Amino acid sequence: MATQIHFGTSGWRAVMADEFTFANARRAVTGIARYVVSQKPAGARVIVGRDPRFLGETFCAMASEILIAHGITPLMIADPAPTPGISYAVIKEKADGAINFTASHNPPEYNGIKFSTPDGAPALPEVTKRIEAEIDASDASPGKPTSPGNAVTQQSLEPRAAYLARLKEIVDFKAIKKANVRIVFDPFWGAARGYSDALLREAGVDVATVHDCRDVLFGGHAPEPDDHLLEGCREQMRATGANLGIATDGDADRFGIVDADGTFFTPNYIVALLFDYLVESRSWKNGVAKSVATTNLINAVAKHHGVELHETPVGFKYIGELIKQDKIAIGGEESAGLSIRYHVPEKDGVLAGLLCCEMVAKRGKSLGQQLTELFAEVGSFYSLRENFHLTQEAMEKFTGKLRKEPGDLMGRKVTQVVRTDGLKLLFGDGSWVCYRLSGTEPVVRVYSEAGSKEGLGKLSAAAKQWIFE
């Protein structure tokens, strides 16, 4: 029986040589090709790109052959490219989509496929469902596609220069240089190598880079710029006296930020600070978006500035839609994805780090100082995300519990229930808990937030107790 290929919140991912095989990748690309042809029967052009993972070049070559067989011109990117750079190329080239071989921040044994639609955004559920249906249809009736009327050939595409030029339009590099901000950049052996640091060096900024070589094993761990994996960045910051550390994940759609004192700043705080900064520096007050699992500090900042708030399901594709409609100045998720007005409707970890450099330079204060001041203005917020692995039996029991309307959580009265994505319970003091089920394994993701560290500890304990009671 063929593997069921399912496109989740950010494409299809699986372990190489297990489910991510050449045969299954071929099935996935065939489904995408059939979908593209259904939207544009002739003359379609699709970008093909990748991160630096093992066999990426080979998967891209295979995808090119499949696209050509369906009469679609492949625009092949030779070198690893950041996901946001590919997104920008789709828009600039007026392409009919992009196939990106990447597993993003997942461990090195994984690979995956992201599909971007002609607007440069991650494919919405209605599109991925169509692609999955085309995969099933191709499985049911295998064979060569109908020969296209006009033969097509592969073309080359180099998206780096255009994407870097766009970032130079957005970020005030002169201000970073003027403030003498010293920076360490950690691309995690990923697709952003030669991007953030190249722009900063060109502007005359003092920047050091770590993990700046191709390593398909990403140092033996996931290419995820999270607190516990940023010690290499911190060491270089200490050695150079840097004011800021900026990092990107495997395909550079996510970011990790380290303050001058070595403190890791969670994405929740970075999105809130940058939102506040964009209102201040750009006077953008058209709106802000966050996923349901992202900090309510953003809600408080929105209220403070009189800006409309949009709360979306988890998945940046929903925020991307609001960027396309120019309804928001910035949109972000607690899982380290953000983008801004007039930019790509896709997560951009390169941009996030560079904007943090500008914010520190222009304000002349560390991130810690800025957060303290923001808390003084709008109130304090402390958040936590935890994963709980359940037995299949416990998972089924808890799934049933999530369908009910709880009046309280271990004695805490629930004042509002939100079902935008999963189950979010809000309490009278402004604290909240959100439960989301993994779609691929028996795991419950629990997001908690309270106004103090002590309150967060108690709330987290109650949230966990409710799962297992």
Q: What is the pLDDT of residue 405?
A: 85
Cα(253)–Cα(191) distance, integer angstroms: 10
pLDDT given for residue 460 in this prediction: 97
What confidence tens digit (pLDDT) does each residue in 202-226 have? 999 999 999 999 999 999 999 999 9
User: Cβ distance 308 to 287 under 8 Å?
Assistant: yes
CA distance 338 to 288: 11
This prediction's pTM:
0.95
> What domains lie within the chain, and their CATH numbers?
12-158 (3.40.120.10), 162-378 (3.40.120.10), 382-468 (3.30.310.50)
What tens digit of pLDDT does each residue of 265-307 get? 999 999 999 999 999 999 999 999 999 999 999 999 999 999 9
Range of lowest pLDDT (146-150, 285-289, 399-403, 442-446): 146-150
Residue 351 and residue 342 in contact, taking contact as beta carbons nearer than 8 Å:
no
Instruction: Report whether pLDDT(403) > 80.
Output: yes
